[in-house]
Structure 1
Amino acid sequence: MAPYTQYSDEQLFQLLHSGGERVFEEIYQRYHKPVYAYLMGFLKDSAMAEELTHEVFMKVWEIRGQVELHTSFSSYLFRICHNKAINALQKIAVDNKLRARILLHLQSQSSPDISNAASLQEYDRLLENALESLPPQRRKVFLLCREEGKTYDETAAQLGISRNTVKEHMVKAQKALRNFLDEKGEIAFIMMMLADLF
């Protein structure tokens, strides 16, 4: 069999139907940098672009065998990128809007009822507790990438671990943080408090 480097993108995608990790690796090698560059252009955030790049390729792997291409593979791939980027930007906008509305709500009250209103201090405390729930190394990776804006490569070099290990920590950290906040009911709590503001 000829090396996968000689196959077209569309041929490689068809071969993915039978599941081959080597085929997937070839697709990843071809498109990792273009996908990252595309997402970086949207997000202007290296850590987030890295995370979404990982999600894009995981999506390609998960849907292998379920999709028939009616366009070029590159068009299909970058449509996934575009959707991921738009969703991420919308989430950022919602988070920022929510935080701003909490602040405005608190500022409008001369004596806010702490038992019934979620303060920014409480909001930040929940996030801090969520971070504290992470294993030390995972928390360190997350803070370097998210708080300090370091790339996966920079974080890997600073901590003396591989880039793939950094990526794995970030994926697991985000999942753990979402689960923690869901369990604490933080989202429902804040949304109930702000129900009359929307």
Structure 2
Amino acid sequence: MNQLDTLTDQQLITTWPHQHERVFAEIYRRYWDKLLAVAYHRLEDLHDAEECVQDVFCKFWALRNNFELKGKDLSYYLSQAIRNQIFTVLRRRYNLRKKSKDITLEEDVHHLTPEKQFIITELTKQFEEAIQALPPQCKLVYLLKRDEGLTVNEIAEKLNISSNTVKHHLKKAHKDLRNNTELLTLLVTVLYLLQKK
């Protein structure tokens, strides 16, 4: 058998059920520094960043017997995991600041803290990624409606399709965006941070 460091991520995951510790150690070696860099960039605290990465790998290890990539690559999975863990730390920081009364009501309503700004930026990014994942025609219809403010009839005329087809595409776009699990999770986090009193 080849050395583990010569295997692709997908091959490692396939091998994982048979060599738990060795495969996990190789994944840890490949991604620890990358995840730590992301966490440190966002949190600006080495201890918190290291704790974030450690938590991600602990949760990852717990999935060793039934982990599946489900069409995504390992890099994508781990980047989403570290992003979610960063949100957890930011939410904890925010709550601690509120409890210590460092954030007044006026600041809470009108001031975008670094934590809030990060969450909003990530939401925007995730939302745009979710739009890009829509089927081509569906995405085009949605963007014409959102970005150009065209009516259903104007879109139908522009694309030479029926108004019912336009309505169908818009309905599908809204449904797909609502059902996007990652986007929904991020949105819930945003609402929690921006609306919690």
| TM-score, normalisation: structure 1 | 0.49
Larger relative contact order (C-alpha < 8 A, sep ≥ 6)? 1
